[in-house]
Structure 1
């Protein structure tokens, strides 16, 4: 007797860098290969050429019908954060009760709590990967390799076979899946993701009169300055307090550092360098995230 697989279809609403990279990664997972999962998707910006190129990269069908999109076993919301939050109301109207809704937003508290209000079977997902360049043509099936994927969900949701199968698929294409409270997630991201972005943005602006004289180190430190405002507008808008708090604390540390430099407090400066060197070397160890 044939047993129906827990996941037969996955749809993506939003086929940008992260959405298409995740689609390509999941498509090559053992579960998808064994069961023949159908991957459908939609992106409002796509031209006919884009649709054809997306099919070459792994999209089975480009679907415009919203009811069909939300009828998949797994629906991945991969638009900007605010658009993903807005689509939860649509999911509540159109998705069958058995459909699991997830997203790839960089902030988790607002979307998670809205999904709770709507009583949706929701897994908040944040793959810790990306590029400063956007668009599905920049996608890569190995973008999530060795990188953590954060998951926020109700305790009883992952007891279903469908949710377990989806988590197994994610685990097979990423470095690790990390269960985390959505509010705690946003507090952490403000420091390790959103703060570096804004530092890069301010630094390149501050040094803009001398850009032609910069070297490779400056280019490495300001790589994130190439990230588009369209993405970061929603991230800042849904995590503003945590980000502002992180900026204020970091600004205080910069002032403290300026005092040490001005007064040539070499002992304190050496201690900072040694601690930073130690942390950097640790991050270069194989398997350091474990």
Structure 2
């Protein structure tokens, strides 16, 4: 049977901040007059009122029937990463061979490796978007529109008919696509995502006794400290080596900085500030593209 079939049905397993934001962005990107894929979804934590609410936000059908969910043309795993990895075994048993599976986890090596072991057509997606507040009530298509989405996977899956259609859907939703292998992804995100989270967490606990004297600058630096452990538990567990390496490198950087401050080495400190200013300007330019 030919696998060159359009994506008419999409299932989301997990309807939190990123899952619902992606669903809403894909739904909003369909041109007027064209049929949107039927969006089904499931989240085990949802009450009846939650189910009714997400139906008003763009979900077409809420169901806990695994056979229905896994028979979609595209299945998006949007639960915590260790849950997503475990779901791959069920998908292997229940999903048609033509089903393309994707995930939105923040780490990729373990889940991509498991999908390859099971010979599941799989593309790892990582929307570089989010905020400290969680849950579908905080979701928005604007969170996804304009964001960078990193795709990881085997060339055969990335370049397959449905893989190409997925990329086109993301681009229509305003996403900027980057391709990266899973191991590189986890090394990079350990630096630019996981390290900032843990630095913010450590900053908050270090300064806890002086918060009443803090101002908006401290609040900006500490924003990520509001992120819940329930989200970060699996991220740290599945990327612990890379994260630990980054923390150790950063601690050496802090030690050098402390020595420069203690010596009042203005030349080196000025160089650091100037380089940081330059990199910040580049960062803003990259995010405007």
Q: Deviations over 1:248-273 (max 9, x none)?
A: 00000000000000001000000000
Task: Tell me, yes or no, if structure 1 residue 247 matches structure 2 residue 258.
Answer: no
After TM superposition, what 4+ stretches of structure 1 lie above 4 angstroms from structure 2? 287-290
Seen in structure 2, the aligned counterparts of structure 1 residues 205 and 274 have a Cα distance that, compared at 3 Å, is same
Alpha-carbon separation, structure 1, partners of 2:148 and 2:288: 9
How far the C-alpha of 1:82 sits from its partner, in A, is 0.4
- Structure 1 segment 73-88 matched on structure 2, within 5 A: 73-88=73-88
Residue number in structure 2 paired with 1:208: 208
Residue number in structure 2 paired with 1:115: 115
SS at match of 1:106: coil
- Structure 1 segment 251-266 matched on structure 2, within 5 A: 251-266=251-266
SS at match of 1:91: helix
Q: Deviations over 1:103-145 (max 9, x none)?
A: 0000000000000000000001111000100000000011122
Task: Tell me, yes or no, if structure 1 residue 131 matches structure 2 residue 136.
Answer: no
How far the C-alpha of 1:165 sits from its partner, in A, is 1.2
* Contact 1:148–1:174 (Cα < 8 Å) also in 2: no
Residue number in structure 1 paired with 2:26: 26
How far the C-alpha of 1:235 sits from its partner, in A, is 0.2
How far the C-alpha of 1:32 sits from its partner, in A, is 9.2
Q: Deviations over 1:182-205 (max 9, x none)?
A: 000000000000000000000000
Alpha-carbon separation, structure 2, partners of 1:211 and 1:33: 54
- Structure 1 segment 18-57 matched on structure 2, within 5 A: 18-30=18-30, 34-57=34-57
Alpha-carbon separation, structure 2, partners of 1:178 and 1:93: 31
Residue number in structure 1 paired with 2:59: 59
* Contact 1:200–1:223 (Cα < 8 Å) also in 2: yes
* Contact 1:123–1:153 (Cα < 8 Å) also in 2: yes
Alpha-carbon separation, structure 2, partners of 1:191 and 1:233: 17
Unaligned runs of 5+ in 1: none
Residue number in structure 2 paired with 1:141: 141
Task: Tell me, yes or no, if structure 1 residue 186 matches structure 2 residue 186.
Answer: yes
Alpha-carbon separation, structure 1, partners of 2:16 and 2:82: 15
**Which shows bigger deviation, 28-37 or 51-60?**
28-37
Residue number in structure 2 paired with 1:226: 226
Q: Deviations over 1:3-35 (max 9, x none)?
A: x96011000000000000000001112369623
Alpha-carbon separation, structure 2, partners of 1:196 and 1:212: 23
How far the C-alpha of 1:160 sits from its partner, in A, is 2.8
**CA RMSD after TM alignment:** 1.5
Residue number in structure 2 paired with 1:8: 8
Alpha-carbon separation, structure 2, partners of 1:93 and 1:33: 36
**Which shows bigger deviation, 262-271 or 144-153?**
144-153
Residue number in structure 1 paired with 2:195: 195
SS at match of 1:34: coil
Seen in structure 2, the aligned counterparts of structure 1 residues 79 and 168 have a Cα distance that, compared at 3 Å, is same
Alpha-carbon separation, structure 1, partners of 2:31 and 2:168: 8
**Which shows bigger deviation, 5-14 or 81-90?**
5-14
Unaligned runs of 5+ in 2: none
Q: Deviations over 1:22-69 (max 9, x none)?
A: 000011123696233100000001111001100100000001100110
For normalisation by structure 2, the TM-score amounts to 0.96
